[in-house]
Structure formats: C-alpha cells, structure tokens
Structure 1
Amino acid sequence: MRYRDQPTVEVTQRVTCDVPAAWKLVTDIELPARCSSELQRVEWLGDADGVAVGARFRGFNERAAMGSWQTECEIVEVDEGRRWVWNVIGRDGPVATWAFEVEPTGDGVLIRQWARMGPGPSGLTPAIAARPELEGRIVAKRLLEWQRNMQANLDCIRDQLENSAELH
C-alpha cells in the first residue's frame, strides 16, 4: 500500500431513522469531536456556520504518537440530504478528503463515512521518507486509526438517533 495511490477507508452503519434526522447529525461538525479519540475540537472559520460548498472549518487534533496539531478544511461538495465532502488543506493542496453520506433504505438509512489520503504531503510524509521500506505499514496503521475513529463516529450517531427515537 502506497501513499501516492491515495488509499481510502470506509465505514458504514445501518440506523433506524429518517434521512433528515441522520443528515442533521452528519452535518454537525462538532459531533466527531465528541466521539473520536483524535479530534478534540472543531470551529467554523470566517462567517461560515453550516455545511455549504466553500465553507471552512478548523480541527484541533491530538495523538500520542504525533502530539497536537490543527487542520484547516474546506467543503468541496454538498448534495443536500445525501452527501457532503471536505478536503483537509495542506501547503501543496489537499492532504486528505473526507465525506459523510446518507442513503435511505426500507427500514431506515445507511450512514457512511469515508476518507482518502493525499494527494498532497501530510503528517505521514516525514515518517515515510525516514523509513521508506515501512511505507505500507505506516499507511495501513494510519488507515486503521481513521477507521476506528470513523466507527466511533457512526456508533455515536446511531446511538443518538436510535435512543432519541425510543424516547418518543
């Protein structure tokens, strides 16, 4: 597995709810900070206050192996009620692309979160440059970390949606 091939990871969760309820949670940029072990806080930038193409937000992250860092993200695609996509911006363009998707089913929705590495250099680049023979392991480990946090996000969303539905 090579970074330059822009590897992608995806997690899907079936949830018993309607599309508007799922959409409301997947477009809450602060939700992952409540669920993820890495993302600590998120804030809108400029006059942005919701998911819209061109809106920007900043993420505050922390990991034992990497310390603390911030990311700036720009929303690049919105299909209302179905999908929104954002790029993590680096000096040389996007270092990653992330998305949430909501798909209606007969008994609820499928919620999907996915992320793709690259194409620009990221925090992994120095580690890969220092140990090129370990690139596959470095990339695979990071994708596994992303996958675990995405699963935590979708579990939080499912729990919030299904628990609130049981209360009504």
Structure 2
Amino acid sequence: MPTEPSPSSPSTAPTASGEIEIDAPAERVYALVSDPGVLAELAGEYAGHRWLGGATAARPGARFRGRNRNGLRRWSTVATITEAEEGRRFAFDVTFGPIPVSRWQYDLEPSGDGCRVREVTWNRSPRWFRVLTSPFVGVRPDGRDERNQRNIAATLERLKARAER
C-alpha cells in the first residue's frame, strides 16, 4: 500500500514504516489508532496522553501532550492531529516546544474481510536536537530511525492482536 503524502506530509521518504494485515474492519482499527489512550497501550515508547486546549477527541487541529518513556527515561512532547479520516487515515505532527520532532501516520485500506494497516513516521528533528537530546531519551543521535522501525513492528503486532479479539 503506497503512502499517499497529504498536504502536511513531508515530501521525503518515511524514515521508518511497517505494514500488517488485520482481520478486522478498517473502522474498528481506526477507532483504536485514533484514540491516543489506546495507542499508548500499543506503542513502544509512547506511554500516555493529556488533551490540551479543551480538546476531547481526535479531530484535525486537536492537540495532546504525549508522555514517552524508554526504560527509566521519561519525556513529553506535544502532538497536533493533522488528519482524522475515519477508516482511512490518522496522522499527527509532534513537536518539543517550537522544534519539529516527527510526523506519525496510520493508513488503512480495506483488504478481504479486514484491512491492511501501514504505520509510517518521518523524523523531522534537526541533527543538533538529536545530539542534544540523545542522552535524555536513551537513543544514539543516529539511532532514532532504527528504534522507530522496531517500535512500529511491535505496535502493529499489538494492534492486530487487539483488533482481532
């Protein structure tokens, strides 16, 4: 399934991605990935959220503070939802203060009795920022993409198990 860049997607290739077939309707899978609380249960480093600015649901423009963890290390970022197309795509941009960090996108496509899900990320952080923050997040400055690739594989497996229950 090709990733179709949206107006807010970068024009460069993703820095990490994964794909999985799930025996559940796209609408059910979308409900899981578009809920930041459920997504925190499925993800590798992302551990929880708090809605910001009065937001209570996943809609374009809604923001949430994401809590992240890697072993004993903890940090938070702000995510802004850029796309929320039920059963098709959920995406958000992540920042640390004014600094762009990443974009995460979930594309869903009906397939047989279920759907195919592709999770994609673009690392948008400047090199100096990765060098500065690497000791705090426990990832080498050049190791973020590799870590994200492993996290995506684990997240998709957990998503499949949860959606097919």
Would you say same fold, with TM above 0.5? yes
1:38 to 45, 53, 78: 45
Supply the distance in 2 between the matched residues of 1:58 and 1:121 (Cα, whole angstroms).
Answer: 23
Q: 1:19-58 residue pairs with structure 2 within 5 A?
A: 19-58=26-65
Q: Which residue matches 2:146?
A: 144
Q: Which residue matches 2:123?
A: 117
Q: Deviations over 1:36-84 (max 9, x none)?
A: 332221121122121111000111112248x211100101123332112
Q: Which residue matches 2:6?
A: none
Relative to the length of structure 2, the TM-score reads 0.78
Aligned residues: 150
Q: Which has the larger radius of gyration?
A: 1
| Aligned 8 A contact 1:44 1:57 in 2 | yes
2:74 to 61, 68, 79: 68
Q: Deviations over 1:4-48 (max 9, x none)?
A: x77521111100111211111111111232133322211211221
Q: Deviations over 1:97-148 (max 9, x none)?
A: 11111111123100111110115567514268xxxxxxxx946521121122
Higher helix share: 1
Structure 2 segments unaligned to the other structure (5+ residues)? 1-11
Supply the distance in 2 between the matched residues of 1:6 and 1:138 (Cα, whole angstroms).
Answer: 21
2:114 to 96, 102, 108: 108
Find the residue that maps to 1:143 and give its secondary structure: helix
| Aligned 8 A contact 2:42 2:159 in 1 | no
Supply the distance in 1 between the matched residues of 2:100 and 2:53 (Cα, whole angstroms).
Answer: 20
Q: CA RMSD in A?
A: 2.6
Identity of aligned residues (%): 29
